[in-house]
Amino acid sequence: MEKSVTKDMTTGSPFKLIVQFFVPLFLGMLFQQFYSMMDTIIVGKALGVHALAAVGATGSINFMIIGFCMGVCSGFAIPVAQRFGAGDYHSLRKYVANSVWLSVAFSVVMTLVVCLLCKNILLWMKTPEDIFSDAYIYIFIIFAGIPVIYLYNLLSGIIRSLGDSKSPLLFLVFSSLLNITLDLIFILVFSMGVAGAAFATVIAQAVSGILCLFYMKKKFVILKIERDEWRPERTYMSHLCNMGIPMGLQYSITAIGSVILQTAVNTLGSVAVASITAGSKVSMFFACPFDAMGGTMTTYAGQNVGAGKIDRVGAGVKACCIIGFVYSMIAFVVLFFFGEQISLLFVDGTEKEILHNSWLFLVINAAFYILLALVNIVRFTIQGMGFSRFAILAGVCEMIARSIVGVWLVPVFGYMAACAASPVAWLFADFFLIPAFFAVSKKLKAAKQQRS
């Protein structure tokens, strides 16, 4: 085993281990959001409000499809983390091999289907005519890059499942710089419009995935898969699907609510769409720590459940919640006083209405970041414990909440209702997730007692 890159999270202080794993993962996600933000900043500044709205109008459907890919890959990494925690490296390698076969199949089918349907989807979402063409070009290119999304997310997930959250960070830093460079070249030099931003994102993602592949082959001795281990096996694939598909559906089901909400926002006009786009990009940047907390707890819980140390999972949740609550308060203060100034990254200072609307969105969301912290920490802990199907139910709760806001509240209360959609969704999810965590913990402890 390659001691220098893998990390055992089943012994030592939970708080210290979580912080050590969290920081590189957070920085990696920060850079990932950074180059996503750069797309939006350059589009907004160089191409104008209509182009910004076009990219923003694809956000929910983008999240639904790409989120499924990311969720599936995260689920595939859970059995790898559990086998690593148990010290069963032969099964670990078989899980890795079978996850590769599944990812290839999923990526090919998904790319063909969504590229054929994306124009119809934008029509169903009532995308405004003045931004429809740019929205279609942008999302078609992003969807054509689904295979490289699987490549990066699968490989980085496997690397993190072995306790190494630093290496994916380095690859993302490099690809972030590449993405920004390509944005500037494609948009400002070659005048490729929103297509340039989409191509830059796909190419940068591909580079990240290729770097992960070379790194894994060079550094992880335990991942040197023998010929017989490459053979597809139904048992392994079934278990991987039981972990991955529910996590993917969690994102997609959640995003269905976002699509319904986006459809309602689209009826409010391009100014509202641009306001939500700018606010969402800033909010996603500030929400990176919550995503990193979730990724950290998936690996932490997976390794400790694999090692049979169920009590350490609860201690880890408490430690991560402390981090999440402290950060939530800091983020609210920053966005309350500087949210409008930060939104200037995306739109010109003369767009007073968009800037004010963006600030409203940020403040309303940040006031409830503690709820988001709980959603990510508890949901991903449950997934790491091996109960991925609960993620679907949590996603259903979020979908119902956003759908209610989109169908009934936005037509009545307008933009303010759209701003409140995510906090309502987080609250619905927490009502389900917190009792679910205690239930699965009790179940695992009972199963452990029976075995002993």
Amino acid identity for residue 227 in this structure: R
Quote the DSSP letter at residue 187. Answer: I
State residue 203's pLDDT score: 95
Binned at pLDDT 50, 70 and 90, residue 6 comes out as low
- Judge contact between 81 and 302, C-beta under 8 A: yes
Higher pLDDT, 3 or 71: 71
| pLDDT (tens digit per residue) in 116-143 | 998 998 998 888 888 899 999 999 999 9
Mean pLDDT of 207-216: 92
Residue 446 has a CB neighbour count (10 Å cut-off) of: 11
- Judge contact between 55 and 192, C-beta under 8 A: no
State residue 4's pLDDT score: 44
State residue 2's pLDDT score: 43
State residue 270's pLDDT score: 82
Binned at pLDDT 50, 70 and 90, residue 170 comes out as confident
Task: Please provide the average confidence, as pLDDT, over all residues in the chain.
Answer: 89
Residue 427 has a CB neighbour count (10 Å cut-off) of: 17
Give the lowest-confidence range in 103-107, 240-244, 332-336: 240-244
Over the range 283-295, which residues count as b (16 or more CB within 10 Å of their CB) and which as e? bbbbbbbbbbbbb
State residue 44's pLDDT score: 81
How far is residue 418's CA from residue 194's CA, in Å, rounded to a whole number?
A: 25
State residue 393's pLDDT score: 86
How far is residue 56's CA from residue 33's CA, in Å, rounded to a whole number?
A: 15
User: 450: exposed, middle or buried (C-beta count within 10 Å: 0-12, 13-18, 19+)?
Assistant: exposed
State residue 55's pLDDT score: 83
User: Is pLDDT of 3 > 80?
Assistant: no
- Judge contact between 361 and 215, C-beta under 8 A: no
State residue 5's pLDDT score: 55
Phi and psi at residue 231, to the nearest 5°:
-65, 125
Cβ-defined contacts of 357-360 (< 8 Å, 24+):
357/271, 357/272, 357/275, 357/276, 357/279, 357/415, 358/275, 358/278, 358/279, 358/282, 359/279, 360/279, 360/415, 360/416, 360/419
Give the lowest-confidence range in 35-39, 164-168, 408-412: 35-39
How far is residue 153's CA from residue 151's CA, in Å, rounded to a whole number?
A: 6
Residue 190 has a CB neighbour count (10 Å cut-off) of: 11
Residues of the chain above pLDDT 70, percent: 97
How far is residue 147's CA from residue 157's CA, in Å, rounded to a whole number?
A: 15
Residue 417 has a CB neighbour count (10 Å cut-off) of: 20
Mean pLDDT of 328-334: 97
315 to 250, 297, 320, 412: CA distances (angstroms): 25, 11, 9, 44
State residue 117's pLDDT score: 92
| pLDDT (tens digit per residue) in 270-320 | 888 888 888 887 898 899 899 899 989 998 999 999 999 999 999 999 999
User: Is pLDDT of 35 > 70?
Assistant: no
State residue 62's pLDDT score: 85
| pLDDT (tens digit per residue) in 338-378 | 999 998 887 778 889 999 999 999 999 999 999 999 999 99
| pLDDT (tens digit per residue) in 403-424 | 999 999 999 999 999 999 999 9
Mean pLDDT of 189-196: 91
Mean pLDDT of 317-338: 97
* Highest mean pLDDT (candidates 6-20, 93-107, 240-254): 93-107
- Judge contact between 434 and 371, C-beta under 8 A: no
| pLDDT (tens digit per residue) in 257-275 | 777 887 888 888 888 888 8
User: Is pLDDT of 38 > 80?
Assistant: no
State residue 138's pLDDT score: 93
Binned at pLDDT 50, 70 and 90, residue 1 comes out as very low
55 to 39, 47, 116, 199, 347: CA distances (angstroms): 9, 11, 19, 13, 13
Phi and psi at residue 37, to the nearest 5°:
-65, -40
List the one residue out of 29, 282, 288, 259 whose CA is nearest residue 156.
Answer: 29
pTM surpassing 0.85? no
Binned at pLDDT 50, 70 and 90, residue 219 comes out as confident
Mean pLDDT of 23-47: 77
State residue 36's pLDDT score: 67
Could you tell me the two tokens for 337?
Answer: 């006083």
